[in-house]
Amino acid sequence: MGAYAGKRAVVVGGTHGMGMGVVEELVAGGARVLLTGRNERNLEEARAKLGPDAHVVRADAADLADVDALAATVREELGGIDFLHVNVGVSGLAPVAEVTEEAYDWMFDVNTKGAFFTVQRLLPLISDHGSIVFTTAVTNVTGSAGMSVYTGTKAAVLGFGRVLASELLPRGIRVNAVAPGFIDTPSMGVPGLTEEQREEFMRVGDATTPMGRHGTIAEVARAVLFLGFEATFTSGQEILVDGGLGLGLSSQF
């Protein structure tokens, strides 16, 4: 019997990177898993990798028709949810003076509106004493230059999560968030990076993270699943998975 045998899990934004890391751990632990994405290549790669062990669904979190269809699919395929991981997120780098309305709307539509209404639509399917984990970001506490809009979207998600944690107390549903720092993923959280830009991101991350390295997908997945299943007396929290970056840890005396 695996650690998650008999559990039903939905990972929104689970076709690659950190989301896929969570999916793989759930599948290995025996859970029934449904995951979503919107990039056709990522969807096909996820289907090929997971085979019949998980149900891969195309759904755009920013499209409420897709979110409604997702809820119907979850009901049909799983009947209900014990664990929901909301991992949607897009980002763009620009100083405040250069942010366009298009970029602003894009990030808020996916990261904030998408996360909010996905939970709203799936909430009736979440079992009492189940759990929800959002992915936020270390930028919620660092105030990183060039990431004003992205940070605003993730700060809003944290606020939603804490209100949900209060509202769902009567049902025993816990709501928490993980806030990753620099994590070694294919896109580094910024779509469209060239290989040179990705290498520069890696260099900056290693130099600024107190632990002197990037985190791994597996390290984030373990934190997500800890909150989802093991942290049974924890709700309304945001756990930093960032190598000490958010707290500015230092080994200097």
Q: Which tokens hold the place of 122?
A: 């799936």
Q: What is the 3-state secondary structure (H, E, C) of 142-162?
A: HCCCCEHHHHHHHHHHHHHHH
Integer Cα distance of 169 and 244 in angstroms: 31
Q: Catalytic site residue 4?
A: no
Integer Cα distance of 131 and 129 in angstroms: 7
- From residue 182, give the alpha-carbon distance in Å to each of 61, 69, 224: 24, 33, 16
Nearest to 7 by CA among 54, 52, 71: 54
Residue tagged active-site, from 4, 83, 134, 150: 150
Integer Cα distance of 251 and 253 in angstroms: 7
- From residue 29, give the alpha-carbon distance in Å to each of 4, 98, 100, 102, 229: 5, 46, 44, 41, 12
Active site residues: 150
